[in-house]
Structure 1
Amino acid sequence: MEVILTELAENHKKITVTVSKEEFLSERKKAIKKYQKTAVVPGFRPGTAPESLIVKMYGDSFGINETYEKAYKAFEEEVAKNQFKLLLDPVAEFSPEANFSTGENVTVNFEFGTEPEVQIEITEIVSEPLYAVQLTEQEVDEEIARLKNENKNVIEANSLDEAEAFEIITHTHGHDGNQEPEHSVTYISKSDITDDKLQEFVEKFQQKDEHINVFDYLLNPEDKKFDNLRSSHHFHLGRMVKFEEIDELTLAKKIVPSKTFENPEEFKQFLKKDFEEQYNELSKDIFLKKAFEFVRSKITNLPMDFLAKWWNSYEKNKNNTPFETISGSLVWELTNSLINKTLARLLDLQVSWENVIDFYTEQYTKTLPEDQLETMKPLMKNYVEGMLKDKKRAEQMFDRTYEYMLKNALVSHKTNPFTVTLTQFREILSNIN
């Protein structure tokens, strides 16, 4: 076999494997003999039909598969010799001049794309700032006050004078069919309503007039706290209500029912740690996003002509979707794969199934009380191992574990994160968005 490598364009190549007449006819002869041993042909005992009759009945298909397999092996050897990293499977085609009866002009063209070289150093990737968020005592108090306000006890009011707010029950879709509509509650306080329209609103509310346009009565209809009402399919008018303040330990039972706190200070320190963990995870996510964006900017010269040919081959385009329609999403997917490979190479990152099991076991047990960990951890590990038997779910779990380990590996290169308060971090977030 003769093997010729041709550069078609940057990261777009072709390997042509030419099969001599003698090689093809030899493979063809072997294929016919193999089939002849078991062929059932009318008028002949099994395995006795003459070769000429078998060829006449079944045409020139003999030897093609065997020849292709040999040609593909030659292609793989050439790829390995040149250390090419294939972007996708090659597009393989026999030459249109090939004569499978005589063995003349039998060549296989393997057209393929290679991964672009990404010249980058880890120091460049981690040059973006990373923020370590630490809440001040005042910020913790403010967060507790916010949570207490959001979790007040709601009590039905007996009169308008006693009422502090009006309950609106919003549904995400209609009541048709068997699906129960999801609902949430929005409270409109008296202070949210314009003074000159308060009485009219109250009358319609008490009459349960659900054709009312609530936003016509509001002082600030664009307020974010009315987003649920604005996006709902429809709503129902509920009760006039008043609110009862709750203390820290009652709040603790509401939002952390699995844990018991001895005093408000213990709950306060728990919240401080929890908030800092949440915001620092967000900070890491932003840092990781910036790192991905930086690597993405270095990935250029994808072989678009090859991608178009690949899309239109192998029945990938069964729905006759034009390449132009899917090219953006295909490039995005390929680029993400290259980003992951680049970062994994630079960080020497390897993810095993043991890593996946450990990560998910930790996720499922982290909220359990300490006195249950010893008993529950082996059970959770067995549960995770069972989940991994589902191939699709296992791939998703592997990807999530990879993202977690990648984030930590990148963050480990930042030995000097900027310490900021929650207020400062929120200001940073507003500028990013």
Structure 2
Amino acid sequence: MATVSRENIGLLNDKITVTLSKEDYLPAFEQSLKKYAKTANIPGFRKGMVPTSMVKKMYGSSVFTDEVLRSVEKELNNYMTQEKLDIFAQPLPLDNDARQLDMNNPADYSFAFEVGLKPVIDINPSNISVVRHKVQVTDEMIDAEVERLQTRHGKMTEPEEVNSEDIVLNVTFVETDAEGNEIEGGINKGNSVLVKYFAEAFRSQVMGKKKDDSIQLTLNEAFDEKEREWIQSDLGLKDDATAGDKHFKLNISKVGLVEKAEMTEDFFTAAYPGRNVVNEDDLRKAVREDLQAHFDAQSRNQLHDQIYHALVDHTHIDFPEAFLKRWMEKGGEEPKTAEQAEQEYPSFANSLKWSLISQQLMQQHNVQVEPQEIKDFAKQQIMGYMGVQSLDEAPWLDSYADSMLKDQKFIENTYYQLQTTKIFGILEGQVNVQEDTVTPEQLAAMQHNHAH
């Protein structure tokens, strides 16, 4: 009869040894040989009439090994189930040599495995203090957004010459030498540039220019730092320390100006379809609501990030480090060297830490994600991509969402996203939250630290 023993070999690291007697695997081995005899195709014998002795001679060694290992796996899994072992990944074999197996001399065999045990975690959200950073929408913000909407829904015109800082130029940057001669093989790249993006001291050289005119410039003289970085990146010069001193001929292919939309019913409907916006007061109210919703969403993301770091940075979790490094070397999809495992372990452990914390929180609060929630999420994504305001506008949406749900990766990613959102929603009500007021710029800067 099979026996299973277990001993501790390190922090959260146990060795499990499965010992089989002949009686544990020989009956299954003999049965498998008989099945092979019934199905084997061997020249000179009718199917099902192959002698068992011949099957044993031809296939016996591999069948014997398979049955022994299958019996070991069965005993190991039964033991872990009975003992309710919560382990990382899969058991790793310890110096097990299948070459010891000999069907001609069946014997008792022992196979050893090591397992990494998941730790017990103590999570107390009531000890976490965070700050909800609020942005108050001002009239100036509303004014700027209304102007942006007027521009977005305005009419494009083509003035004869540059006479406003709001004009958009379609241009081509052609690299030249200091005398203005085009460099063979140099940069030749199209772009669109607002006149107001040019450095203030340089704009006078742009004013009065017409379609098909050219301007000779260097990036340093034509653009201030922020705009210059954007231009350099677009030209493929992001990491070139000398880029600002390069010479270019700026060829103007189009002079365009958007005439802002007037405050008419057509504009209100175009800006906010389906929102019953019929006058300027309604428009400003809708803008205020949307801006506040946008800032509140950013604020909530930042709050969740604080909670995430409080949990990950301040929850003590022990790991079976030696086991996990060996598993990274041998048990993953892509085997690693010992040096690679050592180098990658800190980030791996940090990710594993959040995985354990989130799993425990899901179990504690019975967090579930239903299939309909995933489908609804898919619909919302499509509506966002297509600019659809309501389901009534898109009767095709249901079938389109069904096609997205055939993508297993999309389902997994959406499941995780919805699951995480629910966890943080629960934690919001359990942590200590204080509030302060910040500017949109301050809140936006905080988003760069968002990590989960």
The amino acid across from 1:345 in the alignment is: Q
Q: Note if 1:83 corresponds to 2:84.
A: yes
Q: Secondary structure at the match of 1:107?
A: strand
2:192 aligned to 168, 185, 188, which one?
A: 185
> How do residues 101-112 of structure 1 correspond to structure 2 at under 5 angstroms?
101=103, 102-112=105-115
- 8 Å CA contact 2:378, 2:404 repeated in 1: no
Question: Which residue is 1:32 aligned to?
Answer: 33
| 3-state SS of paired residue (1:194) | helix
1:251 & 1:419 partners in 2: Cα distance? 36
Kept in 2, the 8 Å contact 1:130–1:417? The answer is: yes
- Which residue of the other structure, out of 237, 248, 252, is the alignment partner of 1:237? 252
Aligned equivalents of 2:360, 2:68: Cα separation in 1: 36
Residue 168 of structure 1: how far off its partner (Å):
4.3
When residues 365 and 16 of structure 1 are mapped into structure 2, their CA distance, relative to the original with a 3 A threshold, is same
Secondary structure of 1:63's aligned partner: helix
Unmatched runs of 5 consecutive residues or more in structure 2: 174-187, 237-249
Please tell me whether the aligned partners of residues 317 and 353 of structure 2 are also in contact (alpha carbons under 8 angstroms): no
1:343 & 1:315 partners in 2: Cα distance? 26
Cα distance between partner residues in 2 of 1:351 and 1:207: 59
Cα distance in 1 for partners of 2:231, 2:33 equals 74
The CA deviation at 1:187 is 0.9
Q: What's the secondary structure of 1:17's corresponding residue?
A: strand
Residue 202 to residue 266, structure 1, CA distance change in 2 (3 Å): closer
1:30-179 → structure 2 map (5 Å cutoff): 30-92=31-93, 95-96=96-97, 98-101=100-103, 102-125=105-128, 127-145=129-147, 155-159=157-161, 162-164=163-165, 167-169=168-170
Correspondent of 1:305 among 322, 335, 360: 322
Secondary structure of the residue that 1:189 maps to in structure 2? Answer: helix
Are the equivalent residues in 2 in contact too, given 1:30–1:63 (CA < 8 A)?
no
Which moves more between the two structures, 257-266 or 289-298? 257-266
Matched, 1:394 2:411: yes
Aligned equivalents of 2:398, 2:431: Cα separation in 1: 32
Deviation at 1:204, TM superposition (A): 9.2
CA deviations 1:156-186 (Å, max 9, x no partner) are: 44346x34366444799xxxxxxxx997632
Contact 2:13 2:117 in 1 (8 A): yes
Count, aligned residues: 413
Structure 1 190/316 Cα, relative in aligned 2: closer, same or farther at 3 Å? Answer: closer
CA contact (8 A) 1:87 1:115 kept: yes
CA contact (8 A) 2:268 2:278 kept: no
Residue 177 of structure 1 is matched in structure 2 by none
Map Cα deviations across residues 116-166 of structure 1 (whole Å, 9 max, x no partner): 3221113235x3122444424454335445665788766444346x34366
Distance 1:155 1:382, change over 3 A: closer
Which residue does 1:354 correspond to in 2? 372
TM-aligned CA deviation for residue 299 of structure 1 = 5.7
Specify the alignment match of 1:279 in structure 2. 295
| 2:25 partner amino acid | F
State the partner residue of 1:217: 221
Give the equivalent residue in structure 2 for 1:194: 201
Q: Share of identical aligned residues, percent?
A: 20
Please tell me the root mean square deviation across aligned C-alpha atoms, in Å.
Answer: 4.1
In terms of mean alpha carbon deviation, does 247-256 or 271-280 score higher?
Answer: 247-256
Q: Residue 296 of structure 1: CA displacement?
A: 2.0
Q: Give the distance between the partners of 1:397 and 1:94, measured in 2 at CA.
A: 41
Partner in structure 1 of residue 442 of structure 2: 427
Gaps of 5+ in 1: 173-180
Moved more, 66-75 or 131-140: 131-140
Written as runs of structure 1 = structure 2, the 5 A alignment for 1:374-413 is: 375=392, 380-413=397-430
For residues 341 and 36 of structure 1, the distance between their equivalents in structure 2, rounded to whole angstroms, comes to 49
TM-score (norm 2): 0.74
CA distance in 2, matches of 1:319, 1:60: 32
How far apart in 1 are the matches of 2:262 and 2:394?
34
Question: Which residue does 1:344 correspond to in 2?
Answer: 362
Q: Supply the AA of the counterpart residue of 1:107.
A: S
Contact 1:312–1:323 under 8 Å retained in 2: yes
Q: Supply the distance in 1 between the matched residues of 2:447 and 2:48 (Cα, whole angstroms).
A: 76
Deviations 1:234-260 (A, max 9, x none): 886344566655555587566546656
